[in-house]
Amino acid sequence: MSASTSSCEVTLDNVAEILKNDTKVKLAGVDVDGQLRGKLISKKKFLSIAADGFGFCSVIFGWDMHDRTYFKELAISNKENGYQDLVAVPDLSSFRRIPWENDVPFFLVSFFDPETKEPVCACPRGLLKTALSKVEAAGYRAMAGAEYEFYQFRAPGDYPTPERNASATAAFLQKNPVEALPALTEGMFGYSLTRPIHNQDYYYGIFDACEQFNCEIEGWHTESGPGVFEAALQFGEAKEMADKAGLFKYVVKSIGAKHGITPAFMAKPREGLPGNSGHMHISLVTEDGKNAFLRPTPDPSPPYPDVAHLSDLGRHFLAGILTGLPDIMPLFAPTINSYKRLVENFWAPVTVSWGLEHRAASIRLITPPTASAKATRFEVRVPGADANPHFVLAAIVALGWRGVEKKLEIPVPPLSKGEDMGGASDQGIRLAKTLKEATVAFMRKDSVAREVFGDKFVDHFGGTREHEVHLWEEAVTDWEVRRYIETV
């Protein structure tokens, strides 16, 4: 914990003492798009609801990322139930102070049904908790690490706002084409030591704020692309990593706003350039801290040489992810734009594929002899930076554990070294090319998604993705107008 965040455990018994010098508290929950939705309340109000929660309008699960109600009403928030309140219960273990907002206390909340008191089916924190419960009941803990790439833009100087904040970008784009928006820095400068100096206060400000806000960065550098940074968050328990990943975006956007910079976590902001990945690393450990994916002694006759050091549990977990991957794609690639990243020849996975230290595959296996034994894990490379980290980890854990329970076998051989996806040795099926295709697979009656997450969640989240597709199919793009306005 940082100096600005209490290192003691927060409980109902001591929370009033911890907040004794405060007058207000900020609360936030996570919606299906991974956005934080919350409010500032008085300390008196917070202390009165800390135990049992408070009413929070269910509309945050009834509208999209721009507060537009879904074209068809879904189960959680609708006319029939009067757009009722949900019960939002603060998670006291999530306590932080926001360093860039004068150390105001901050807590995450989870959402519960007011009648059944069960977690709301679409609550991202609740879905992950449910997925992890099976793993934990079997005596394991899931560990995770997240990596995010993101572009950054700054509106030209003749589009200032009174505070010269990132909203200038939105104002600029109202009257200018997207390609006219300047990147924070130009050129391809991956791993540059000098490029961050161009925006030194911003660059170091993010690193320091993440440390203080308990979503610590392990590695922080420029990535190949104009104005692109990449952050690897500090490895930890999966149930905390999802929160930290979401809060990392909150830090970046907040610090960016103070510098007039717009960070873009969308999957493919620029045509012809690499997209923004949101790779997730996963492993299981036993109660005594041993890596459960590691095989104590190498298998002398493995089904594939790549898994010689991978335990039986690890093999089944890998098989579970590979088998279920096509059916949960909207959780890894949730927007129309997501599928512009998942194309051939851009180091982005496009098939059900895996391989030892294979960075072109959907799942990169990391084991000895190329990695240390304690670092044995899977890197799931399909998700983009636009994906909701709670849903990503919930899907990985749920699919992997399904593989363990069913003792599934790895469905395809590994990609050969030097072999790209889609090549002669790639026997994996092609992943969905569009959100519409992915959503159809996700929502079909016999999908793996329904098996591991249940109908309520699939119907709700699938409905939100149908909404995205509906809006896209009605949209007229700049590309269409430029191409056809004079020629047809």
Provide the phi-psi class of 375: left if phi over 0, else alpha when psi is between -120 and 50, else beta. alpha
CATH for 112: 3.10.20.70
- What is the pLDDT at residue 1? 38
For residue 125, being part of any structural domain is answered with: no
Residues 176, 217 within the same domain: yes
Residues 175, 311 within the same domain: yes
> Is the per-residue pLDDT at 425 higher than 70?
no
Overall average pLDDT of the 322-343 stretch: 97
Of 98-102, 212-216, 260-264, minimum mean pLDDT range: 260-264
Of 82-91, 160-169, 324-333, minimum mean pLDDT range: 160-169
Closest to 276 measured CA to CA, from 261, 290, 287, 265: 265
Overall average pLDDT of the 137-147 stretch: 98
Residues 296, 328 within the same domain: yes
Residues 441, 319 within the same domain: yes
For residue 68, being part of any structural domain is answered with: yes
> 90: domain range?
21-120
Residues 78, 157 within the same domain: no
Overall average pLDDT of the 228-240 stretch: 97
For residue 64, being part of any structural domain is answered with: yes
Residues 87, 185 within the same domain: no
Residues 108, 149 within the same domain: no
pTM: 0.95
> Dihedral through CA 120, CA 122, CA 127, CA 129, nearest 10?
-40
Q: Which amino acid is at 479?
A: W
Percent of the chain with pLDDT over 70: 94
Measure Cα distances from 18 to 12, 47, 97, 475, 488 in Å.
10, 11, 11, 50, 68
CATH for 290: 3.30.590.10
User: Band of the pLDDT at 305, cuts 50, 70, 90?
Assistant: very high
Of 111 and 6, more confident: 111
Q: Which of 65, 91, 120 is the last residue of a domain?
A: 120
Helix (H, G, I), strand (E, B) or coil at 203: helix
Overall average pLDDT of the 281-291 stretch: 97
User: Band of the pLDDT at 250, cuts 50, 70, 90?
Assistant: very high
For residue 487, being part of any structural domain is answered with: no
Residues 116, 146 within the same domain: no
> Is the per-residue pLDDT at 423 higher than 80?
no
Q: Which of 89, 120, 151 is the last residue of a domain?
A: 120
For residue 289, being part of any structural domain is answered with: yes
> Is the per-residue pLDDT at 172 higher than 80?
yes
pLDDT digits (tens, 9 = 90+) for 364-421: 999 999 999 999 999 999 999 999 999 999 999 999 999 999 999 999 999 887 666 6
User: Band of the pLDDT at 162, cuts 50, 70, 90?
Assistant: very low
For residue 169, being part of any structural domain is answered with: yes
Residues 147, 291 within the same domain: yes
Residues 213, 258 within the same domain: yes
For residue 14, being part of any structural domain is answered with: no
Overall average pLDDT of the 193-199 stretch: 93
> Is the per-residue pLDDT at 4 higher than 50?
no
Q: Which of 120, 155, 179 is the last residue of a domain?
A: 120
Overall average pLDDT of the 294-299 stretch: 96
Mean pLDDT of the chain: 93
Overall average pLDDT of the 464-478 stretch: 97
- What is the pLDDT at residue 3? 41
- What is the pLDDT at residue 98? 98
Residues 231, 353 within the same domain: yes
Indicate the number of domains in the chain.
2
Alpha helices, DSSP H only, in 138-192?
A: 167-173
Residues 113, 149 within the same domain: no
- What is the pLDDT at residue 150? 98
Pairing verdict, β 363-366 and 354-356: parallel
> Is the per-residue pLDDT at 424 higher than 80?
no
pLDDT digits (tens, 9 = 90+) for 22-57: 999 999 999 999 999 999 999 999 999 999 999 999
